[in-house]
Amino acid sequence: MARRAPWLAGIGAVPFLIVVVVAVVGAAVPAMGRFVVEKSSVRVLSPEHIRGHHDAAIGNFGVPDYGGTLTGVVVYPDKKATGCAEFDAKFKSKSRRPVILLLDRGECYFALKAWNAQQAGAAAVLIADNVDEQLLTMDTPEESPETEYIDRISIPSALVNRAFGESLKRMSSPSPSSEAAVEVVVKLDWRESMPHPDERVEYELWTNSNDECGARCDEQMEFVRGFRGHAQIMERGGYALFTPHYITWYCPEAFKLTQQCKSQCINHGRYCAPDPEQDFGEGYEGKDVVVENLRQLCVHRVANETGRPWAWWDYVMDYKIRCSMKEKKYSKGCAEDVVKALGLSLDKVLECMGDPEADTDNAVLAKEQEDQIGRGSRGDVTILPTLVINNVQYRGKLERTAVLKAVCAGFKEGTEPRVCLSNDIETNECLHRNGGCWRDEKTNVTACKDTFRGRVCECPVVNGVQYEGDGYIGCKAVGPGRCTVDNGGCWSETRGHQTFSACSDTALTGCRCPPGFQGDGHKCEDLDECKEKLACTCPNCHCKNTWGNYECKCKGNQIYIRGEDTCIANSMSRFGWFITILVASCVAGVGIAGYVFYKYRLRSYMDSEIMAIMSQYMPLDSQNNENQPLRQHDSEA
């Protein structure tokens, strides 16, 4: 969020400070500053002849619905069309859709128009430009007693170009409740206003350690207090990468030796901040703010090196409580005690900070000044506080729920952490009629998946089992393990101690009735093998059907062979037994004869062959006398 720097408000009583700050700003920011207008989309749904898409510049106040949409009826008032005065009655549409109030630019602050529109019941406000020019960002007015309404604005606002505004005016009826009224229905769309490329959001807060800047500083600290828990949850889980930044300026060469630059700058005028009290004669000095800014940057760096980057939020909160400049508690020792209390290395923090009195560049603050220059989709950072999410500047008030909604819009759909699905920033569409998605009433398995950007209908994975389908009409379990989930959607029945199922773990899809049953797999009935003459058809067989099976008995002393579907005799005659014993004896005799032949005849032959082979390489006892003279000759030699 971008607002005017708090220390620039009300400094007319200090002429020299004005000169220095203006000169510094002119030196720090290029003459041709790079400013980016963040946009949303306006889509006209009806009447038919003006349908189309148009860009709108998001206002820097209120609460843009990042990641969401709003469909409503455009109403252009016949009186007080600039919106600079309170309206006499609430605006309502004939169709009871939300009212999107269209107002003319001019005569008062943009924010006042939005406030009066909100008080008149508008859900959003579109302001039509009165000149032909490129879209610009509607900024927040100076803080004053007359602008206390700014923080109470909770509706989104946007600026549209002159041509589109005139078209809407012509079609919008000043009396939408009349019978002849033609409603102009538009859809405001912020879904693409925040980039959402992957499962991690990178965001940064450009802030300041000075808490003596009035309501804006109080608002900033209230944001840190409220958002700290969300930020730490997302960072601990690896969902987000947060980086704090601090704006500084440098003192122009002509003023470096003046007391004003010496009191507001460190490192010989290279890094400066305005005096907190805007009075050089009392209180803290601008260089105290710069030093504390530097310390907080180094606290984040050291915490990041130790794997605890979220400790920065704790330091800022504890510093506010224990060392507030506003409450005159600040001192170097107090800030260092906060560092040590959080378990961070004070030596590393001091090493990171370097020497503020040295006439050299400070690597940390020099990098901060370099990062102030806009790159890619982000413009220059010149005012505080500024929140940047996925390299796009956040527009809207710095408030816990509004910022969390914007950060959550930066996640790729379906990868948001649970903190983004809480009831205070997101509505679970799956709770109403299951989001229109498929659901199995028996197992309560649903294809509805709630995301920050709305529900999606996707067949789920349950206990390792994948479902396939369109997610709307139906989903079926497929693959290994599918039979464990509602039996894969197939038929199954148990009677007594017997259970039959049409789901097979060997088949990745489909249902097939098991043997003994017939049907389509979703409904199976017992197959009567006896009646259908599918089994037990031999002449001497008697068939009896059972559930999922059959029994077959043979007449007389016979047994049934199921595989052959035939009956065979169950006993043999004496002659049969004699033949059997005779055959067995012959087989045993042949086996014994073979063993004797191997042991005595074949084995002795093999032994003699082996000895003949070995005698060619190893001297045997019969050869000792032939070799003996040679061994004696060798020893005598």
Asked, for residue 263, whether it belongs to a domain, the answer is yes
Q: Is the pLDDT of residue 458 over 70?
A: yes
Domain housing 414: 195-421
Q: Is the pLDDT of residue 14 over 60?
A: no
Same domain for 312 and 404? yes
- Give 423's pLDDT tier (boundaries 50, 70, 90): low
Same domain for 244 and 167? no
Q: Is the pLDDT of residue 627 over 60?
A: no
Q: Is the pLDDT of residue 81 over 80?
A: yes
Distances (CA, A) of 349 to 41, 301, 346: 46, 8, 5
Q: Is the pLDDT of residue 84 over 50?
A: yes
Q: What is the pLDDT of residue 201?
A: 96
Same domain for 88 and 143? yes
Asked, for residue 17, whether it belongs to a domain, the answer is no
Spell out the residues 6+ positions from residue 315 whose beta carbon is closer than 8 angstroms to its own: 296, 299, 303, 338, 339, 342, 344
Burial class of residue 37 (count of CB atoms within 10 Å of its CB; 0-12, 13-18, 19+): middle
CATH of residue 362 = 3.40.30.10
CB of 387 closer than 8 Å to CB of 403: yes
Q: The tokens of 511 are what?
A: 């249902």
Same domain for 443 and 512? no
Between CA 50 and CA 554 the distance in angstroms is 89
- Give 454's pLDDT tier (boundaries 50, 70, 90): low
**For the chain, what is the mean pLDDT?**
83
Same domain for 402 and 454? no
Asked, for residue 441, whether it belongs to a domain, the answer is yes
The single-letter DSSP state of residue 434 is: G
Between CA 95 and CA 73 the distance in angstroms is 8
Share of the chain above pLDDT 70, in %: 83
Q: Is the pLDDT of residue 100 over 70?
A: yes
Burial class of residue 133 (count of CB atoms within 10 Å of its CB; 0-12, 13-18, 19+): exposed
Between CA 412 and CA 453 the distance in angstroms is 9
- Give 577's pLDDT tier (boundaries 50, 70, 90): low
Higher pLDDT, 620 or 205: 205
Per-residue pLDDT tens over the stretch 225-283: 999 989 999 999 999 999 999 999 989 988 988 988 999 999 999 999 998 888 877 88
Alpha-helical runs (H) found in 324-357: 332-341, 346-353
Distances (CA, A) of 527 to 500, 512, 516, 519, 539: 13, 14, 5, 9, 22
Per-residue pLDDT tens over the stretch 315-351: 999 999 899 999 999 999 999 999 998 999 999 999 9
Q: Is the pLDDT of residue 7 over 90?
A: no
pTM (two decimals): 0.65
Asked, for residue 593, whether it belongs to a domain, the answer is no
Q: What is the pLDDT of residue 586?
A: 74
Same domain for 243 and 370? yes
Asked, for residue 554, whether it belongs to a domain, the answer is yes
Residue 329 Cα to chain centre, angstroms? 41
**Which of 262, 207, 298 lies closest to 5, judged by CA?**
207
Same domain for 303 and 451? no
- Give 151's pLDDT tier (boundaries 50, 70, 90): confident
Same domain for 368 and 455? no
Same domain for 219 and 284? yes
Domain count within the chain: 5
- The SS3 assignment for 73 reads strand
Between CA 515 and CA 206 the distance in angstroms is 73
The mean per-residue pLDDT over the stretch 454-466 comes to 84
Same domain for 169 and 179? yes
Asked, for residue 18, whether it belongs to a domain, the answer is no
Same domain for 84 and 127? yes
**Which of 492, 441, 495, 486 lies closest to 467, judged by CA?**
486
Burial class of residue 446 (count of CB atoms within 10 Å of its CB; 0-12, 13-18, 19+): buried
Per-residue pLDDT tens over the stretch 381-422: 888 889 999 999 999 999 999 999 999 999 998 898 888 887
The mean per-residue pLDDT over the stretch 183-192 comes to 92
CB of 313 closer than 8 Å to CB of 272: no
Same domain for 183 and 200? no
- Give 5's pLDDT tier (boundaries 50, 70, 90): very low
CB of 342 closer than 8 Å to CB of 311: yes
- The SS3 assignment for 216 reads helix
- Give 199's pLDDT tier (boundaries 50, 70, 90): very high
Q: What is the pLDDT of residue 309?
A: 94
Q: Is the pLDDT of residue 159 over 90?
A: yes
CB of 531 closer than 8 Å to CB of 552: no
Q: The tokens of 177 are what?
A: 């409740």
